[in-house]
Amino acid sequence: MRGRRSRRLAGLVPLLLLCGCGHTIRPEFAPNHAGQGAFDFERPPCSVASASAPKLAADEVGIRYLGAGGLYVEWRGAALLMAPYFSNPRLLRYPLGRLVTDEAAVRRGLGGMDLSRVRAIAAGHSHYDHLGDLPLVAETYAPGARVYVNASGAHALASVPALAGRVASLEGGEGWGWIPLRDADANALPIRFRKVVSAHAPHFWGVHAGKGEIEKDWTGPWESHRLRELREGHTFAFVIDLLSEDRSRTVFRIYYQDAMSPPDTGIPRLDLGDDHGYDLAVLCMASYYFVRRQPETILGALHPRHVLVTHYEDFFRDTRKPVRFVALLTDFRANRFFHRMRQVMDGWDTEGPEAAVCGPSSRSWTMPMPGEWVRFRPAHGASV
């Protein structure tokens, strides 16, 4: 069965290559670059902010978009990494290629951040473009971070001796309820997160690549396994809370997904213990067009003050090359995503980033270039 599925996917690779991909956003959806025409990701009219982390004020949230849906979130000196991945393989390598980590790409992607602040790394599912670089990142760049993945991811990471005792399954006892970030002395830090049961949209025309679970611990070196051996497993989104200094109140709430979900999944139906709304929704653009009523459904459920649009770029393309949208995400589809967001969010009380951003941005949404920093402040009047 798996052999037939692999041959089917391999047969679709040439078709995907012929489909091409887009890379422009219309001026109406990039008002921060007014007068410069369409925002062309392949030839951007701006430069990504310095790789060095910005100096954040005590009441500022620092977020860096890493690419492939990955995110760095910093608040009050503590930081969380979400699904960091940079080793983009060529598309034709996927059916048979091995889990080879591009150490130079990882070093470039993480450059400029004080990763000693990272106390947790989390991923919502276990496809290669979310888990593939995690062993190197966790071992070398964030050795003080605990790792949270689904059961399939935990089985895969069992093959990495350096992570023994640091990996927790989101489907185990520690994965229920709020998970606080803790310092080296086990003291709670002002960031916490919890999972939201979700699902993964199809990748193309009803085909769901990498579906299924890893049911046993992997053995042998990480790079002896193939890319396609990383199975999706159960998919989760996350609620991330940034807390007041005394950790008694939520002052900034983030919804994060690393895969667009069908409309009946991924909605936080949780008792969060307060009535604080969502300040930021991090939504994936890739594959939204293969599910119904998205992003309308998730926006209507969250009613966020701002949307960060991610996971739009081609994760089979060398990160040193100009940015293009992932295959099948045409210019029309990308702009349609913004059009549909605008229809839902029109009239909402929204708030944009604190500083200029390289990438389409408005009071309601931001689509940052990979590597770009985006800074936010809690809602006016929120006590930090």
Distance CA 320, CA 327 (A): 18
Q: Which range has the worst mean pLDDT, 157-161, 205-209, 249-253, 319-323?
A: 205-209
pLDDT tens-digit series, residues 78-107: 999 999 999 998 877 777 889 999 999 999
Domain carrying residue 23: 2-376
70/125 Cα distance (integer angstroms)? 12
Short-list 237, 87, 224, CA closest to 156: 224
| In-domain check, residue 381 | no
pLDDT digits (tens, 9 = 90+) for 340-365: 999 999 999 999 999 999 999 999 99
Give the pLDDT band of residue 114 (cuts 50, 70, 90). Answer: confident
* Average pLDDT estimate for 146-158: 98
Collapsing DSSP states into helix, strand and coil, what is residue 296?
Answer: helix
The whole-angstrom separation of Cα 144 and Cα 164 is 13
Q: Is 384 domain-assigned? A: no
Question: Which pLDDT belongs to residue 380?
Answer: 65
Domain of 120: which CATH number? 3.60.15.10
Average pLDDT over all residues of the chain: 91
What is the CB-side half-sphere exposure of residue 346 using CA atoms within 13 A?
Answer: 6
Domain count, the chain: 1
Assess if residue 87 is contained within a domain. yes
41 in a structural domain: yes
Query: Residue 234: inside a domain, yes or no?
Result: yes
Evaluated on CA atoms 20, 46, 129, 293, the torsion sign reads negative
